[in-house]
Amino acid sequence: MLNNKLPFLFAGLILFLPFRLFGQEVWVKILHNGTINEIELEEYVGGVLAGEISPSWPLESLKAMAVCARTFALNKIVDRFNRSYHLADNFFDQVYESRRSQMEPIQRAVSDTKSEVLIYNEELAQVHYGASSGNCTASSFSVWGKDVPYLKAIPDPYSSRAEKYSSWTLSLDTSDFLNLLHIRGKVKEMTVLSRDESGRVNDLKISTNNKSYTFSGKRLRELLGFDRLHSTLFEVNLKNEQVVFTGQGWGHGVGLSQWGAKKMAEEGFDYKQILNFYFPGTVLGVIQ
């Protein structure tokens, strides 16, 4: 049976969004190595949990992640309804891995939250997440220029207490640093020109013996490598012919922090409390 409408039941209100159904299931088109595969939504959510976090994490953190993955996927299906695929299976959308998706903790998290999504003002919420926010989440406005009421910069003590990415250091030889930025000369000084409300670097000035250059924090991450410069929440100094970054967090910092969610679950919070912390003002809805 084919249908072009999918009812969403939110606290008694049914909304209709343009989805393609097979029977009563939502199917996700995933791009993998140039091939498009179609899988059922709940199976897809399990694969995202397997790809994004560890099944050994506390169940409540897995459940929070399941709701995020499901909401993110549904938004992409709506946005890309007329495209050949809805989501790539990598970090550009959500990392998907089928190999571990059948593990019991993952299946439990998916089944315990079956069909649950985050909503705001009777619409699907715009859900984002990353590995760690460091000590403060970032606002969607500062990162993408889009102001979303529930994606503001808020202090995140859970990520700052988590065992990973609460702090990190990156040291680069000045010559390697300049090569990565496609700059010639010798570094004389580096100055942070501005930061956003979360403390993340907006703009950094690099002065050499030839001239000065200004880079946004986001552009700096792109050029140095996201796996090197984990976030824009950093301090930077010159020490003995090296550029030394000391920072916190990993990723853009908007929305849910995966390691922060893990820490919250370890401290006794349930998945609804975790979601409420990272997406204040949103509520849970159920797709039917």
pLDDT band at 79 (very low <50, low <70, confident <90, very high): confident
Model's pTM, two decimal places?
0.89
The CA distance from 258 to 118, in Å, is 16
What is the tens place of the pLDDT at every residue in 53-75?
A: 999 999 999 999 999 999 999 99
Q: Per-residue pLDDT for 275 more than 80?
A: yes
Residue-range domain boundaries for the chain: 2-162+252-287, 168-247
Cβ-based neighbours of 83, under 8 Å, separated by 6 or more: none
Question: Is pLDDT of 18 > 60?
Answer: no
- The pLDDT confidence band at residue 227, using thresholds 50, 70 and 90, is very high
Helix 104-112 crosses helix 41-52 at what angle (to 10 degrees)?
Answer: 130
Q: Which of 20-34, 53-67, 138-152 has the lowest mean pLDDT?
A: 20-34
